[in-house]
Amino acid sequence: MKNINIYIILAFVFILSSCEKDFTNKNQITNDQVYSTEAGIVGATVGMTEHFANTTYGAIVEIPGITTREIGITSTFATPFELAVGGETLPNENAGITRLWGRLLRDKAIAEEIIANVDNVNMEPKKKAGIKAYAMFFKAMTLGYLIQNFEKAPIDNSADGNAVFNDRKDVLNECVNLLNNAISSTTAESAAFINSLVSSEFSLIDVLNAYSARYNLFAGNYQDAINAADKVNLTSKSTWGYDGTNQKNPVFQFAVFDNPDTWPTDNFGLKGDLTPESNDGRLAFYLSPLDSVGTEETGSWAIDGLLGFFSAVDSSIPVYLPGEMPLIKAEAYTRLGKLGDAVSQINIIRQKTDDVFGVNAGLDAWNGDDSNVDAILDEIYKNRCAELFFSGMRLEDSRRIHRYFVPSYDTDTQSERNRNFYPYPYEERINNKNIPADPSI
């Protein structure tokens, strides 16, 4: 992220600290002051981005990664161990679930404040339009990650802590509506302002269309998902950037640095018919073989070293991967009964050798049964697991594509996933009277 002046930094520090109860400081700037000036709004935008990229993103990858076997563990520390066992025994007090929930809500709260206040701030129209569109994207993104992991989520935060929970359909519809509004209001000038503000590699319009394709797919709007994916420039890069000092790659921090207790699993955590071909180029892109296994209590999964976008403290992480777009189209075509078109999109991914990020399978065309919907969906899932490895997508993909799979847990540590959704954090349960019952699994 770009450097900003000290006033803006202090403004965002206040915004984050204001989420917690604290003693009154008569000299401290107020929430209204932060959101009533150009410097405050810009500071909130950059700070929101930095908090997500440095802190929230790590939880998005790590927590469901353990649940879906992308990540093996080498210790019996409570937080990862509870997630690796999963099932009905997973407690609401699990610190990983609490981190994932709380950080996403915090980022969403800042996006909501920006959306609510930016129109009243005196600033150039292109800046105002760009910031509002970006904040709408941010709210859609954080809502999307919430509903990927929890059965219900609050579309809007509440100042009194009693936010109303919304079901999956309504949350995904809100994600799509936010992105549609952002797309319709974005101009070349407003996009250019955001691109320069967020990262050295960022394309707002491509990001908006990519996430629109993603959430339209999840919502079952298959033709809309195809249309949005078609608008994404597959040679464009959008990344969360890190300098290795103040901004550190969060996945490197938990999965690479200082002999961690969480490691990527061999073969992307896939087994049986889903095991990737040995010459799949994505194996070498993401994984470095190790002669080691995780704990016996959690399945003794073979573990590897992590490469790709996470090998260094200053490695950039894609905001989305271009390879997701053909896979979105493949699944949407399958759901629409256009199986030939679906297989064509699968083969684009399998045979890809020119990916802008270097994520290339370099395989032959698929030789499976192109008339069998389940076989096509399995191939899509297999390729999503490889292409989008360590992106926080696996739990949603497993639940959506293998929707008839019943999670095995407790005594079966080899199952594809050990839960469908997470229980709501204990802190939310004791503070929010509107919280729904936990899902059984």
User: Model confidence over 109-124: pLDDT tens digits?
Assistant: 999 999 999 999 999 9
Give residue 25's pLDDT.
42
CB-based contact 65:417 (threshold 8 Å): no
Conformation bin of residue 69: beta by default, left when phi > 0, alpha when psi is -120 to 50: left
Backbone angles phi, psi at 236, to 5 degrees: -95, 145
Q: Mean pLDDT in the chain? A: 93
Q: Which 3 state secondary structure label does DSSP give 382?
A: helix
Instruction: Classify residue 231 as exposed, middle or buried by CB count within 10 Å of its CB (0-12, 13-18, 19+).
Output: middle
Instruction: Tokens for 405, please give them.
Output: 């799979």
pTM for the whole structure? 0.94
Q: How many Å apart are CA 196 and CA 193, to the nearest integer?
A: 5
Q: Where are the beta strands (DSSP E) in 163-243?
A: 239-240
Evaluate the CA torsion angle 338, 339, 344, 346 in order and state its sign.
positive
CATH fold label, 6-21+29-231+239-277+294-321+391-423? 1.25.40
pLDDT of residue 410: 58
Nearest to 313 by CA among 237, 260, 251: 251
Surface-to-core class of residue 122, CB atoms within 10 Å of its CB (0-12 exposed, 13-18 middle, 19+ buried): exposed
Q: CA-based Rg of the chain, rounded to a whole angstrom?
A: 21
Please calculate the CA angle 402-407-410 and round it to the nearest 5 degrees: 160
Q: Which residues are CB-contacts of 326 (< 8 A; sequence separation ≥ 6)?
A: 229, 345, 346, 348, 349
CA distance linking residue 52 with residue 317, whole number of Å: 12
Half-sphere exposure of 206 (CA within 13 A, CB side): 20
pLDDT score for 267: 98
Q: How many CA atoms lie within 13 A of 293 on its CB side?
A: 8
- The pLDDT tens digits for 52-64 are 999 999 999 999 9
The pLDDT of residue 30: 54
Q: Region 44-71: what's the mean pLDDT?
A: 97
Q: For residue 6, name the pLDDT band (cuts at 50, 70, 90).
A: very low
Give the contacts of 160 (CB within 8 A, at least 6 positions apart): none
In the chain, domain spans: 6-21+29-231+239-277+294-321+391-423
Question: CA 204, 207, 209, 215: dihedral to nearest 10 degrees?
Answer: -140
Neighbours of 288 (CB within 10 A): 14
Single out the residue of 16, 11, 17, 19 nearest to residue 35, CA to CA.
11
Give the containing element (helix H, strand E) for 263: strand 262-264
